Every structure is written in structure tokens, then in C-alpha cells.
Structure 1
Amino acid sequence: MAYRAKAYASDEVEGSFTMQYLRLYDYGHELLARNPGSTVKVAVEENDGKPVFLRFYACFKACKNSFLLCRPIIGLDGCFLKGRYRGGLLTAVARDANDQMMPLAYAIVEVENKDTWSWFMELLIEDLGGTEVCSSLTLISDQQKGLLPAVQNLLPGVSHRFCVRHLYANFRKKFPGKNLKKLMWRAATATHPQKWESEMRSIREVNEEAFRHLVAIPPRSEVLTLNLFQFVIILSYSLYG
């Protein structure tokens, strides 16, 4: 009874999830009317002869134009939606000339996997000028399994770096401790191969297994550090650069 009362009150204050999803087409048309030149895609699937929402993509015209003045770096990330209908939110974010974050595009999808990332990336690439333009960019993300093959298929050879914040989140599950954390970040922020080698030797002296775990990650991938929320970027060199 308490749950139903809370759900009813939430619908009255915030609006019903069901009604909001039913009006996605209206929302898409409103975006296009207020932002001419933008890209809005709504994908549905048939269920008993009725359309059921599947995916939604939006990229504003102002963001497309502004990206021409941004650094040639794009951060990609996704998260789970915890509403009534679940799903996932995919985002592409750049950093503008004023050193601030600028959202490029976002999408709501049924799940975060290779298929949905490919769908999102195809639309994003088209909005940013095509494969030729995007192949010269640097992409930064976590090691999401669906994203990596999608990028490799659509933009083979593109520079792709991993966020060290996400790498450490996985690393500390096996190798906790402040000392190893400090050594890992020193290696990740090293700006010369010799410095990187020195920090990796220090890690090996502390924990051989931790060293093997990190050395298995290509240095070219791990040495670019990105916090997707603050976009603090440190450019580094690799042993094989």
C-alpha cells in the first residue's frame, strides 16, 4: 500500500514514465522545431502490431558546429538507467575552447552492448562529418566490451585510449592498497618511456602479479588519463610509440 501511494505521488509530481515514453515522438519533433539542423532518431519495434520504444538518439546542431572549435578528443561512456523501464544511457562528450565539457550526443538504448554502441557510433560519425574526419580523432573510454569492437569495426586504426580511473577501479579489486594505487598513477602519468619503465619496475618489486596485470595493457592505451567528469587529460608517450 505504501509503495503504491509513493508511486502515485511520484507520478503526480514528476510525471508518469509510461506517458513520457508515449510522447517521445513529440519530444523529438519539438527538438527539431526548436533546433533546426539537429539530428533526432527514434527507433521502435513491433509488438502485437503496436510500436514499442527501443532507442532514442539526439545530437544538437549547435553541438555539431561547436565541435569544430573543440580539441580533437571525444570521451565515450555509458550508464544504467534505474527507472521503471531500465535501459542504458550512452554519451559522447568533448572539451571546448573554454576548457569546459560540451556534450555532443546522447542516446537511450535497451542495453549497453556491441549492437547499441555500433548504432550510436554510426550516427555520431555521420553527424561529425563522416569516417574520414573521425578517423583523426582520439577516443577515450573505459574497457566496455561492446564499445571496443564497435569502434574497431567503424573506425579501424583510430587512436583509442582507456580512462585510468576505470582501469584502476578494476585493478584495485585484485590489488588493493594505497602504495600500488600511487605507483599505478605515477606510471600512467609518466611523460617519458624511461619514467614509465622506472615506475613499472617499482610496481614489479612490490607485487609481481600486479605488474603482470598492468603490463598486459598496451602502454599506448593506458598512458592517456581521463576523468570523464572533469576531463583532466595528460598526454604521455609509450614504449612502442
Structure 2
Amino acid sequence: MDKVFRAKDMARKHVTGDYTKQFELLRDYALELQATNPDTTVKIDVCPNGNPASPTRQFRRIYVLTIVGLDSNNGIYPLAYAIVESENTASWKWFLENLGDDLELGSNSNYTFISDRQKGLQIVVDQLFPNAEHRYCIRHIHDNMRKKWGQTEYRDHLWRCASTTTIPEFEHLMKEFSEYDKEACQWLKQIPPVHWARSHFSGRAASDVLISNMCEVFNGKIEKGRDKPLISCLEFIREYLMKRICNVMKGMKKAKGPLTPTATDILDARKKGASQYIARWNGENKYQVTGALQD
């Protein structure tokens, strides 16, 4: 059995690479990545060394410009990724500082972030981008809620409150929730609605997404690469991103008209709904529009 395990380990190293050797080649990999992909940002961070004369350093983090955003067809579009020691305040700050440098974000930037309310991330976003809109994923809020209130009715109340687009309707739905369960509603009120309710969003962002599923999708796609040696892991991610971006480009070429396929479907649905309304001229420069309310 020992001989079999040694043979398997040798075969694995031949296929995926040696873990130790790949750390030694990391700087060469970063230079090659930048040489073959113009304008790519790659930054390597190492642990402090008490002996400056030592030729070796201990790897801590690597950053490559890609992060998950939403494209105009409601699909994920990765922009920046990093491999770090752990998800903590220091690593989040290092990552977002690099991202800010690449995207030329200042403390007055009006970007919108959506996260799962990780404490370290919340602190850093508030510190680096105090004017940014920071949304909290509703699915993660519900995960916390159902630890005590697991029934489907609680989830339905939460989603109705989060999805409505006007403040009066939000207040009405929160009142209904309070009447259903005052304690649960009070728990939800501890989370400022500017972070999770559409009715309280600033309106600056072109997207009104409430969940961070796009990140979960991305994480699922790269899961098989996580246990590989460092460079093999980075190449797994890079190749996935390359294939995805190429597939998006192919889809764009097939699109007919000035809009993306998803935007076209949404517009067609709106046009169909609008055809059910009747506009009557009031005799001057206005119209009265009547018809059934649309969801």
C-alpha cells in the first residue's frame, strides 16, 4: 500500500504540479501572466521577515485583477480575485486597496458592493469607501433568521419587505410582519433597511439585486481548483474566466438589436403589459392612464 501511495503521489505531482516547487515559481508565473495578458495586475504579498538578507520569503497572498460583477445581460462578469491566508480584516483591506488602485476608486466613490455581512469586510468597506452603497445579501440574512424562525412564513415576510420599491409599502409590509411576529420583526429592524430593502436603495446603481448568488456561482465553478498547488489553482481560475468571457462574447455576436438578450426579454414583457393600459387625452398636454396593476 505504501508503494501505491508513493506512486499515486508521484503521478499527482506530474499532473498537477508540486506544491513546494510552485511557490518557488510564483514570481515567474506572475511575470509571465503580465507579459501574455497586457494591462493585467498581479500583486504578491509576503510575510515580514526578520532577516532582510535572507533570499527567501513566506508567501501570504496573491491578487489578480478580477472580481464578480453583473454584466448587462444579468450574467456574472469576474473582475478581480485573490488567494489569501484567510478572510479577515487585514486580507480584505489589502484586496480592496488593490482593487481601488486598479479601478481608480477614491474615498468619495459611489460604487455599490453586495456581501454576506462578513464583519471584516463591513469594516473595510466603511473605512475605504465611506460613500459607497453596501448591500447585504438577503439569502444570508434569511439564513441567520431561520436559526430561530425557520418557518416558510418568515422567509416570505422578509422577501416581501426586501422586494418592495416604495417606502410606504415597505412600512406597511413591516407592520404586517410585526403583527405576525413582533420579536422577529424587531430582530430584522436591527439591520438598517438601506442595506437590504430596495425601497431604501439610493438609486445610483443600475442593478437592484438583493442576493450575492453571482459569487456563489463563481465559487462553485472554481471549487475543483482549490485543492491544487498554487499556480495550478491560479491557472484553473484563469482558464475558467477566459472560457466564460469568450462565451459571453459569442452570445453578444448572436444578439439581435441594440439590447442584450435578457434586456430584450424584459422590454418585451413590459411592452406586453403596457398594451393592457388605456391612455386618454385630457384635452391639454397630459394623459390619464388606466388599467390593471402589474406585478
Establish whether TM, by shorter chain, passes 0.5: yes
Match in the other structure for 1:126: 101
Could you tell me which of 186, 189, 192 is aligned with 1:215? Answer: 189
Query: Is 1:96 matched up with 2:98?
Result: no
Q: Distance in 2 between matches of 1:115 and 1:56?
A: 14
Could you tell me which of 35, 38, 50 is aligned with 1:36? Answer: 38
Following superposition, the deviation at residue 101 of structure 1 comes to: 1.4
Residue segments in structure 1 that go unaligned for 5+ positions in a row: 61-91, 232-241
Residue segments in structure 2 that go unaligned for 5+ positions in a row: 199-209, 219-295
Match in the other structure for 1:200: 174
Query: Is 1:114 matched up with 2:89?
Result: yes
**What is the letter of the counterpart of residue 145 of structure 1?**
K
What secondary structure, in the 3-state scheme, does the structure 1 residue paired with 2:153 have?
helix
CA contact (8 A) 2:116 2:140 kept: yes
Query: Is 1:55 matched up with 2:61?
Result: yes
Give the aligned length.
199
Q: Distance in 2 between matches of 1:168 and 1:8?
A: 46
Match in the other structure for 2:213: 228
Match in the other structure for 1:78: none
What secondary structure, in the 3-state scheme, does the structure 2 residue paired with 1:55 have?
strand
Match in the other structure for 2:18: 16
Could you tell me which of 124, 137, 142 is aligned with 1:168? Answer: 142
Q: Distance in 1 between matches of 2:134 and 2:93?
A: 15
Structure 1 stretch 4-13 or stretch 219-228: which is displaced more? 4-13
TM-score (norm 2): 0.61
- Report the aligned-residue RMSD: 2.4
Q: Distance in 1 between matches of 2:188 and 2:115?
A: 17
What secondary structure, in the 3-state scheme, does the structure 2 residue paired with 1:217 have?
coil
CA contact (8 A) 2:116 2:212 kept: no
Structure 2 counterparts to residues 141-160 of structure 1, below 5 A: 141-160=115-134
Following superposition, the deviation at residue 110 of structure 1 comes to: 0.8
Tell me which protein shows more helix as a share of its residues: 2
Structure 1 stretch 18-27 or stretch 136-145: which is displaced more? 18-27
**What is the letter of the counterpart of residue 17 of structure 2?**
G
**Which structure would you say has the larger RCO, counting Cα contacts within 8 Å and 6 or more residues apart?**
2
**What is the letter of the counterpart of residue 199 of structure 1?**
L
Following superposition, the deviation at residue 7 of structure 1 comes to: 4.9
CA contact (8 A) 2:115 2:212 kept: no
Q: Distance in 1 between matches of 2:192 and 2:63?
A: 33
Bigger Rg over Cα:
2
Following superposition, the deviation at residue 100 of structure 1 comes to: 2.2
**What is the letter of the counterpart of residue 141 of structure 2?**
L
What secondary structure, in the 3-state scheme, does the structure 1 residue paired with 2:147 have?
helix
Q: Distance in 1 between matches of 2:149 and 2:11?
A: 46
Q: Distance in 1 between matches of 2:58 and 2:98?
A: 21
What secondary structure, in the 3-state scheme, does the structure 2 residue paired with 1:110 have?
coil
What secondary structure, in the 3-state scheme, does the structure 2 residue paired with 1:37 have?
coil
Q: Distance in 2 between matches of 1:115 and 1:27?
A: 25
Distance 1:191 1:157, change over 3 A: same
Distance 1:227 1:152, change over 3 A: closer
TM-score (norm 1): 0.74
Following superposition, the deviation at residue 166 of structure 1 comes to: 1.3
Following superposition, the deviation at residue 201 of structure 1 comes to: 2.0
CA contact (8 A) 2:114 2:212 kept: no
Q: Distance in 1 between matches of 2:73 and 2:178?
A: 41
